């Protein structure tokens, strides 16, 4: 069990611990000060901690080896855990919006301004650290090359290609950091201006941000639970690996399914002419073993064909050939 937990998503594990500490600190501050914005961020941190703990255990379980009863493995389990987390976020979003609306209708001052400010600054630092960690994890998982501020750009660009747990941490802590800034601004402005309705408005906006993130994560993980094709960049990378073998001349079919952070590859490859069946089998196993060296590939099912001298990969080449044939037919 311990060995399995070690395989869990590190970003979600760190985020769960960090948000647990924040939820406790914010909860104490919210009960002492009566701040609505502080209450909203307390719920947000509590939801994040619970979600990310769920997802950490889910990501560890998804690494379990296939069994006779579950020959395809447990990759999609992590999507199920993330969907449970989405339900929790949705409930927290509802409670936050309800609290914000009540504060707008009946605004009142909060106490202990310095305590609220101190907790919000702590939240920005902790959530910001977790967010940066998630960004680095995205860059690592997507094999992007970035350093310094380039990590921020690459993480936003490639977040859709990251593992579901990493995406959850990224989106939740992006909202958490933004929400902490928003809560800090609303608390300070409400105290300075006497417009205590700003506390309710800030609370309401944080709730709306939670709804947005719940909707986005729900859509993405429902697709993953059903089974979704690998992104084109992954398909191209795998195709390039297959075609790099000196005896492979074409790819007849290539189907790649994503389950959790792993990819399942099914392919028919065309070999040069003249091989015996035994030699062709050796080539097939060689290509398969090369693909399995990729840590993101869970399993490979591969068939072999003798070349038909018709280029079908890359797909653009097939489209171009078909387009020329269509134009020829029209000319005739």
Q: What is the pLDDT of residues 85-103, one digit of tens each?
A: 788 888 888 888 888 888 8
**Same domain (yes/no): 146, 257:** no
Q: Is residue 157 part of a domain?
A: yes
CATH of the domain at 55: 1.20.1510
What is the rounded CA–CA span in Å between residue 290 and residue 152? 32
Same domain, 169 and 275: no
In 3D, which of 145, 152, 41 has the Cα closest to residue 92?
A: 41
Query: Do residues 62 and 194 share a domain?
Result: yes
- Residue-by-residue DSSP string for 163-208: -HHHHHHHHHHHHHHHHHHHHHHHHHHHHHH--THHHHHHHHHHHH
Q: What are phi and psi of 252, to 5 degrees?
A: -75, -45
Query: Would 321 be classed as within a structural domain?
Result: no
Mark whether 202 and 293 lie in a shared domain: no
Hey, which bits of 185-296 come out as E strands? Answer: 228-229, 248-259, 262-271
Q: Is residue 324 part of a domain?
A: no
Asked whether residue 12 falls in the same domain as residue 50, the answer is yes
The percentage of the chain sitting over the pLDDT mark of 90, rounded to a whole number, equals 11
Q: β-strands 228-229, 248-259: how paired? A: antiparallel
Residues 281 and 187 in one domain: no
pLDDT digits (tens, 9 = 90+) for 107-121: 877 667 788 788 888
Provide the domain count of the chain: 2
> 263: which strand partners?
258, 297
| Domain edge (last residue) among 207, 226, 245 | 226
- Are 189 and 212 contained in the same domain? yes
Q: 328: pLDDT confidence band, cut at 50, 70 and 90?
A: very low
Higher pLDDT, 191 or 251: 251
Query: Which among 303, 278, 287 is positioned nearest to 247, based on CA atoms?
Result: 287
Q: Say whether both 241 and 285 belong to one domain.
A: yes
The domain of 107 spans 1-226
Residues 43 and 161 in one domain: yes
In a domain, 194, yes or no: yes
- Total residue length of the chain: 332
Question: What's the pTM?
Answer: 0.68
What are the backbone angles phi and psi of residue 253, rounded to the nearest 5°?
A: -140, 145
**Residue at a domain's end among 175, 195, 226:** 226
């Amino acid at each position: 069990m311990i060995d399995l937990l070690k395989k869990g998503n590190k970003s979600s594990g760190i985020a769960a611990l960090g948000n647990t500490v924040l939820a406790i600190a914010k909860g104490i501050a919210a009960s002492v000060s009566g701040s609505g914005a502080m209450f909203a961020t307390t719920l947000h941190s509590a939801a994040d901690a619970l979600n990310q703990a769920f997802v950490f255990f889910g990501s560890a379980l998804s690494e379990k080896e296939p069994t006779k009863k579950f020959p395809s493995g447990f990759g999609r389990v992590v999507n199920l855990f993330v969907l449970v987390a989405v339900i929790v976020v949705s409930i927290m979003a509802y409670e936050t919006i309800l609290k914000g609306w009540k504060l707008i209708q009946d605004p009142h001052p909060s106490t202990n301004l310095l305590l609220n400010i101190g907790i919000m600054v702590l939240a920005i630092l902790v959530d910001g650290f977790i967010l940066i960690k998630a960004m680095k994890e995205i860059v690592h998982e997507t094999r992007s090359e970035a350093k310094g501020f380039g990590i921020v750009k690459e993480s936003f660009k490639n977040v859709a290609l990251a593992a579901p747990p990493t995406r959850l941490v990224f989106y939740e802590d992006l909202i958490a950091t933004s929400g902490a800034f928003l809560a800090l601004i609303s608390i300070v402005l409400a105290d300075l201006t006497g417009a205590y309705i700003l506390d309710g408005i800030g609370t309401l906006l944080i709730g709306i941000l939670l709804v947005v993130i719940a909707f986005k994560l729900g859509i993405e993980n429902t697709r993953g639970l059903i089974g979704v094709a690998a992104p084109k960049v992954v398909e191209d990378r795998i195709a390039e690996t297959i075609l790099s073998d000196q005896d492979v001349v074409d790819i007849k079919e290539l189907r790649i399914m994503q389950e959790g952070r792993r990819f399942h590859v099914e392919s028919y490859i065309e070999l040069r002419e003249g091989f015996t069946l035994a030699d062709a089998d050796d080539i097939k196993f060689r290509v398969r073993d090369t693909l399995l060296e990729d840590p993101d590939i869970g399993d490979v099912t591969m068939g072999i064909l003798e070349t038909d001298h018709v280029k079908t990969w890359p797909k653009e080449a097939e489209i171009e050939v078909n387009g020329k044939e269509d134009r020829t037919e029209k000319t005739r």
